[in-house]
Amino acid sequence: MNTGCIVLGLGLIFGLSSPLFGRPSMDIVVMKNGDRLTGEIKSLDAGVLYVNMPYILGTSSIDWSQVASLESTQLFIVKTENGSVYRGILRTAEGGDNRPVKIEILDTLDKPITIDQAQIVNIAETADEFWQRFSGTAKFGATYSKGNETVQYALGSEIQYLRERWSAGADWNSTLSTTSRANVATRNEVTLTGRRLLPWQNYFYAGLADFLQSSVQGIRLETSVGAGIGRYIENSNQAAISIIGGFAWQNTQYNQTQFAASTQNLAAGLIATNVRLFKFNKTNLNVTAILFPALTDPGRVKFSVNSTYNIKITRDLSWNISFYGNWENQPPPHFAASDYGSSAGLSWTFGMK
C-alpha cells in the first residue's frame, strides 16, 4: 500500500506542475469551413484536437478531421498510424484545395517531415525539460450498501513519461472493501512498464514488472517480471490495439503457515494485450489483459485484467466504471482461485493529456 501511495503522490505532484506548460496563445488553427482560431494547441488524442483559447473558458475540443491547417512554434511529439514518432514544431504543408491536408514537422536538426493528416493519431506537447514530459490520470471511486453495511473504495493513478522512440509508465490500482459480516478485503497492484520502438513499422519491445497483493487469494506479494516483442495491430483515431509475446518470472508469497511451501517460483510465458477504443470526445474504453501460462508447472495458468470505461464530463474530468480481476486455474489447496470486482467514480487527467 505504501508503494501505491507514493505513486499516487507523484501523480498529484506532476498534475500540479502542469502550469509549466503556460506559454503565449499564438498557435493558429484554421477549420475547413474557414473559421480561424488563435490559441494554444495542447494535444491530439482519439481524433480530438484540444486547444486553449484566451477568450474561451476551459479547453475547446475540435474534430481533427475538420482541421484545414495549423501552425505552432511549440515542440510536439507526433505519433502516426504505423508507430513512427517524431518531434518538432508544426505547420501545414502547401497543397491544393482538393488534396489531403499534410502536416509538416520541423526539427531544427533534421529536414521537415511531411505526413498526411489522417495518419497522425497523437500529438502531445513536449519540451527539453525533464518535468514537462509527464502525463497521467488519477481516479477515485466508492460504493456503499446499507443492507449488509458494505463499503468499497477504489483508488488508482497512471503516470507516463514520453520520449520520441520510447516511453515508460507506472500504474497503481487499489481497492478496500469492508462489511459487517466479513473481514476487510484489500487488493493492491503496481505495474511498471517500458516500450521502445523497433526499426520495423508497428513493432516494439517491452518490459514489465508487476507487484500484486490480494487478501482474497491469500497473496502477500506476487512479483512478476517479464519482457517480450510487441506489435500495434491497429493504431488510429478510433482504436489503438497492441499485443506482446514473451517470457516472465513469478515469485508468489502466500499469507499462511499450513501450506508446506509458502513461496513459489515459476517461469512462464507472457501474452499481454492493450485495447483502447474511442468515440469523439465522449467515451473511451481501456482494457489491459495479461496471461501467464506456466512453463515450469505445465497446465497451470494465471490471468489478470484491468479495464476502465470513461464518459467525458469535461476535457480533464470523466466519470468511470472500472473492473479488475485475477484468476488461477490451479491455486494452492484451500486458496481462492479468483479475485475480481468493479467500481464507479471520477477520474482526472493531467500533464500532456
Q: Are 318 and 311 in contact (CB under 8 A)?
A: yes
DSSP 336: -
Give residue limits of the domains in the chain.
14-128, 132-351
The CATH class given to the 14-128 domain equals mainly beta
| Structure-block grid coordinates of residue 80 | 502516426
First and final CA of the chain: distance in angstroms? 26
pLDDT of residue 21: 47
More confident residue, 114 or 143: 114
pLDDT digits (tens, 9 = 90+) for 173-214: 898 888 776 678 889 999 999 999 888 888 999 999 999 999
Position 86 pLDDT exceeds 70: yes
pLDDT digits (tens, 9 = 90+) for 149-182: 677 888 888 888 877 778 899 999 898 888 776 6
Position 13 pLDDT exceeds 70: no
Residues 6+ apart with CB under 8 A from 235: 79, 80, 81, 82, 83, 121, 202, 241, 242
DSSP class per residue in 141-197: EEEEETTTTEEEEEEEEEEEEE-SSEEEEEEEEEEEEEETTEEEEEEEEEEEEEEEE
- The span from the CA of 338 to the CA of 208, in Å, is 22
More confident residue, 125 or 69: 69
More confident residue, 155 or 351: 155
For 132-351, the fitting CATH number among 3.40.50.1000, 1.10.1740.10, 3.40.50.300, 2.40.160.40 is: 2.40.160.40
Q: Are 141 and 343 in contact (CB under 8 A)?
A: yes
- Kindly state the percentage of the chain with pLDDT values over 70: 83
pLDDT digits (tens, 9 = 90+) for 283-340: 889 999 999 999 999 999 999 999 999 998 876 788 999 899 999 999 888 888 999 8
Which of 48-52, 122-126, 199-203, 320-324 is predicted with the least confidence, judged by mean pLDDT?
Answer: 122-126
Position 255 pLDDT exceeds 90: no
pLDDT band at 7 (very low <50, low <70, confident <90, very high): very low
Q: Are 182 and 211 in contact (CB under 8 A)?
A: no
Position 221 pLDDT exceeds 90: yes
